[in-house]
Amino acid sequence: MAPRKLFYGWTVLGAAAVMIAVAVGALFSLGVFLKPIEESMKWSRGSISTVALLNWIAMGLGSFAWGALSDRIGSRSVALSGGLLLGLGLVLSSQVTELWQFHVTFGFVVGFAVGAFYAPLSATATKWFTTRRGLAVALVSAGIGVGTFVMAPLARWLTSLYDWRIAMLVIGDLAWLVIIPVALLIRNAPGEVGAVALGGARAARERDWAPREVLRAPQFWAIALTHFACCAAHSGPIFHMVTHAIDQGVANLAAATVFGVSGLASVGGRIGCGLLADRFGAKRTLVAGLAVQAGAIFVYLFVRELGGFYALALVFGLSYGGVMPLYALVTREYFGEKVMGTAYGAVFLISTLGMGIGSYAGGWFYDHLGSYAWLFASSAAIGTMAVVLALTFRPPRPLPAGAAGVLSPV
């Protein structure tokens, strides 16, 4: 009997996770570079945090543009283009001498390039798998956690050996060396192979949404605003995690390791919440994860020692990582496969505004008030608001048998 051929969807998931790890890990490395850049360039934390704000805005615009493009030409070409642009942005960022140059290279070029990965590749994962879709999207999303765990200590180590410029240059070269060949493994899903390969039922016919209809749907805005509030809540604590720990007396490398621990914990959160979503539903899992996230952010107000930072990084990482893939699931459940790249790209665009605002707010609070206390208090409040918004999600209603399409808008 011939051995069973490996379902190619797993290869797509692995390739997507690797590219996301490198791309998003490079993006989040700005948090590690924050203090070295502040010291060498004499730029304020607020000014550098503005780069993060621009970074996330550009990533959101990129997610929407690349996601819509992936619906037309496929994710392979999108990932290849994004990899070329990402390496270029990082290499140019390592050579800047003025703040406005850093705004352009890291803020816009790197941000727009990273948009080519998470949203389009998450959409691709939902097209390859019908059963175990939660696990599939979680595995793709796990690349973010792995990237944070690997790239943060790498950036800190290279900075310690040389300086932040050499570190950023090496990471840019790494983006080219890894992403470009791995992107060649991405393929479009040939129909309903996911369900067949995993022993699932044939997928039901879905309503064909037009992109314009997606943006007008109330459920789109419910999902998008929840994602916005979620990201606004956790982005500041993530971006300023290393610097805040150092301010509390934690050694530089240990602080970067705390950041890495939160990233590694987020991998477990993503996979665990993906499995829970397959069993209990994406909405229930999302509400629970958002509640834990809000509580963890609030606890940052009271932690001062390295052991406490490690413990909190574990809980915070599990929660913020766990909720992230669930937005792709609820978007896919409601709007279907045909416009998934466009729909999730638009949701992610709005969420990145929250990421940018949260990152910038941390620097603003520190520069004007001398501490991160108001950042953590306001982030916890916004995180609680995300829980309330998630409770408003309603699933699409099935149409009567024989009606045109299967799903109707709420």
Q: How confident is the model at residue 201 (pLDDT cuts 50, 70, 90)?
A: very low
Domain assignment of residue 175, yes or no: yes
Q: How confident is the model at residue 399 (pLDDT cuts 50, 70, 90)?
A: very low
What's the mean pLDDT when you consider all of the chain? 84
Q: Is 80 exceeded by the pLDDT of residue 406? A: no
Domain assignment of residue 3, yes or no: no
Domain assignment of residue 137, yes or no: yes
For the ranges 148-152, 227-231, 358-362, the one whose mean pLDDT is highest: 227-231
Q: Which pLDDT score is estimated for 106?
A: 93
Residue 124 · residue 10 · CB < 8 Å: no
Q: pTM of the entire structure?
A: 0.72
Q: Which pLDDT score is estimated for 4?
A: 63
CA atoms within 13 A on the CB side of 227: 26
Domain assignment of residue 134, yes or no: yes
Count: domains in the chain? 1
Angle between helices 133-161 and 164-183 (to 10 degrees): 150
Q: Which pLDDT score is estimated for 212?
A: 79
| Exposure class string for 233-252: b at 16+ Cβ within 10 A, else e | bbbbbbbbbbbbbbeeebeb
Q: Is 70 exceeded by the pLDDT of residue 397? A: no
What's the mean pLDDT in 15-41?
A: 88
Domain assignment of residue 344, yes or no: yes
- Give which of 222, 237, 228 is closest to 380, Cα–Cα: 237
Domain assignment of residue 1, yes or no: no
- Give which of 157, 155, 112 is closest to 26, Cα–Cα: 155
What's the mean pLDDT in 149-153?
A: 80
Domain assignment of residue 93, yes or no: yes
Per-residue model confidence as pLDDT tens digits over 74-115: 889 999 999 999 999 999 999 999 989 999 999 999 999 999
Q: Is 50 exceeded by the pLDDT of residue 42? A: yes
Regarding predicted confidence, which is higher, 269 or 132?
269
User: How many Å apart are CA 270 and CA 144, to the nearest integer?
Assistant: 9
Q: Is 80 exceeded by the pLDDT of residue 279? A: yes
Q: Which pLDDT score is estimated for 206?
A: 57
Residues spanned by the domain of 225: 9-188+211-396
Q: Is 60 exceeded by the pLDDT of residue 1? A: no
Q: How confident is the model at residue 23 (pLDDT cuts 50, 70, 90)?
A: very high
Domain assignment of residue 201, yes or no: no
Q: CATH no. for residue 268?
A: 1.20.1250.20
